[in-house]
Structures are given as C-alpha cells and as structure tokens.
Amino acid sequence: MAAIVGFLLWLLAAESLVSGVAPDAGRFLPGQAGNALAGAIGEVFLSQPLAAVLLAAYTAGFAALGAVRLRREDVT
C-alpha cells in the first residue's frame, strides 16, 4: 500500500514540480517517459524508442534495488 501511495505522490506531485522547474530534465523522469511511450506528441517528450529504453532501465534499476532489499530483510 505504501508503495502505491508513494508512486502516486511521485507521479502527481514531484514530477509535476520538476517538469515545471526544469522541463529539459523533467522529460527523463518515468512518468514523462511513459507519456512519450504512449504516444504523446510535443517538443517536450522523448522519442518512443528512447522512452522505451529509459523505462526499461528504470525497471531494471528498481528491480535490482528490490532484490537487494528483499535479500537483506526477513520476509517470513
């Protein structure tokens, strides 16, 4: 539950703030890359292939962090 709330806060609040302050850097955030991959058109968005690679890199990074955390904590 906390992960879902954290993700929504990041997507709706933090990305909006970063994109408003620094649009060039904001387009590399996961939400903006997802919009570009979904086909959003505009000069702020990345190309679809670059957005797909960026989202794959975010996914691999977060999966690696999750694996490290899972290994360090007692799940049972």
Could you tell me the residue ranges of all domains in the chain?
Answer: 2-72
| 12 alpha carbon, distance to own chain's centre | 12
Residue with tokens 């060039």: 24
By the 8 A CB rule, do 35 and 21 touch? no
Sign of the CA dihedral running 56, 69, 15, 27: negative
Please give the pLDDT value at position 75: 67
Please give the pLDDT value at position 76: 61
Q: What is the pLDDT of residues 21-68, one digit of tens each?
A: 887 888 898 888 888 888 877 777 888 899 999 999 999 999 999 899
